[in-house]
Amino acid sequence: MKKELGFVFILFFSVVFVLAYSLSIPNPGHGADEIFVYINGKVLSLQSAIDLGEFNRNSYSGGGVSSNIVFGHSDVYVNVGGVNKNLQSAINDKSLCLFDGGAGAYSGVESVGHSADKILVNFNGERSLQATINQGLFAGKWDKVASDVCNGQSFTRSRCGISEAGTGTKTTGECAVCVVSSWTPATDTVCSGTSFTQYSNCGTTRSATGTKTTGECCAASSWTPATNTVCSGTSFTQTSNCGTTRSATGTKPLKIVCSDPAGGYDRLCTNTVQYNTIEIRTVPANTAAVASDTVACMNHCNSMSSLNPTCCELWYSMDHTTNRRLLCAAMGGSPVTSYVDSEIHWASNCYSTC
């Protein structure tokens, strides 16, 4: 009865082991579920340790296999980086954890157990244990990778108890390289000559100088109209090149303008105060004045701007009986009609202008 139970038990495990792999297990050899290792504080079959992710870590630890192993053994020989050793030793000294892969095959003596090329494992696909080691699948995982660190940034990474320096290579997301395409504020928004700091679309800064010359930044340098174009004493408003305004007073010199009015004869100025009198010419009695006489008189009155005359008069003098002098004077008042027999009287209005 015991024989039968033992046979059934052995048959059951044989079926389980066969069903665990699709490839044929080497003969002589074993599947990884018949190989036991001490890893991370516990004894597991090699296949279970793989399936449970015990090797898929930043680091893993070994030890000695002290439990009784049934239906399997722990004597497996591997080549790690060109060095022959026991699988458990490779776990314990971290050489397996640090091995990223390469060519290798166990070339030592198999006194007890099997070499790694006679052990079938399923680690991201079925292959021999040695082939799996050579692919670097037992290598510990770095706690940081260059592709997670921004390009050009230095960092330190570690695995399997060692650390090393690295440089990031990431150029996407927060590590995307920014191309400067704009700066604010614009120079034409800051007053000319004013130093300030500009900020780029990438967050960088630079010094700049304003160029704005309008609005609050405009320096008034000219005003129109000019004071010398507006009559002296006249108040007016000037506008600057910046658009601002101010009050001003004209400085253009005034001049007197006397005109020859229609019907100017038989008129005289109401004010008899003569600012200045000249003789135009001497003529015989009862000789009429001619146009050139009135023109000469107006020119004389116009030259009296500083006296500010308002009336210009031409007349005969009374001091000769045969010949008389034709006199002209700039006066105040205004011309009025006056009928004087045998006398020449001509008068016109005079006004100030510039």
Of 37, 40, 16, 164, the closest CA to residue 100 belongs to: 164
Mean pLDDT of the chain: 83
Same domain, 164 and 240: no
* Contact present, 309 and 332 (Cβ < 8 Å): yes
65: pLDDT strictly greater than 80? no
- What local confidence, expressed as pLDDT, does residue 317 receive? 81
Same domain, 24 and 108: yes
What is the token pair recorded at 187? 């120079």
Beta-bridge mates of residue 327: 279, 315
Indicate the pairing of strand 76-80 with strand 114-115. Answer: parallel
Same domain, 225 and 242: yes
Which amino acid makes up residue 201? Answer: N
Same domain, 42 and 121: yes
Q: What is the pLDDT of residues 80-139, one digit of tens each?
A: 888 988 888 889 999 999 998 888 777 776 666 778 888 888 888 988 888 888 999 999
Evaluate whether residue 343 is within a structural domain: yes
- What local confidence, expressed as pLDDT, does residue 288 receive? 78
Q: Go through the chain and tell me how many residues it has.
A: 354
Of 12, 3, 14, 97, the closest CA to residue 49 belongs to: 97
Evaluate whether residue 172 is within a structural domain: yes
Query: What is the C-alpha separation between 288 and 305, in angstroms, rounded?
Result: 28
Query: What is the C-alpha separation between 86 and 94, in angstroms, rounded?
Result: 12
Same domain, 224 and 197: no
Structural domain of residue 274, as residue ranges? Answer: 255-353
Q: What is the pLDDT of residues 315-353, one digit of tens each?
A: 888 765 678 888 999 988 888 887 665 567 889 998 888
Same domain, 226 and 331: no
Q: What is the pLDDT of residues 249-265, one digit of tens each?
A: 999 888 888 888 877 88
| Residue 192 three-state SS | coil
Evaluate whether residue 8 is within a structural domain: no
Same domain, 82 and 33: yes
Residue holding tokens 């053994």?
A: 73
- Among 249, 267, 296, give the residue marking a domain's end: 249
Evaluate whether residue 53 is within a structural domain: yes
Same domain, 241 and 263: no
| Number of domains, the chain | 5
Evaluate whether residue 1 is within a structural domain: no
- What local confidence, expressed as pLDDT, does residue 74 receive? 60
Q: Burial of 263 by CB count in 10 Å (0-12 exposed, 13-18 middle, 19+ buried)? A: exposed
Same domain, 30 and 99: yes
Same domain, 29 and 125: yes
Evaluate whether residue 13 is within a structural domain: no
Question: Residue 341 gets which letter from DSSP?
Answer: T
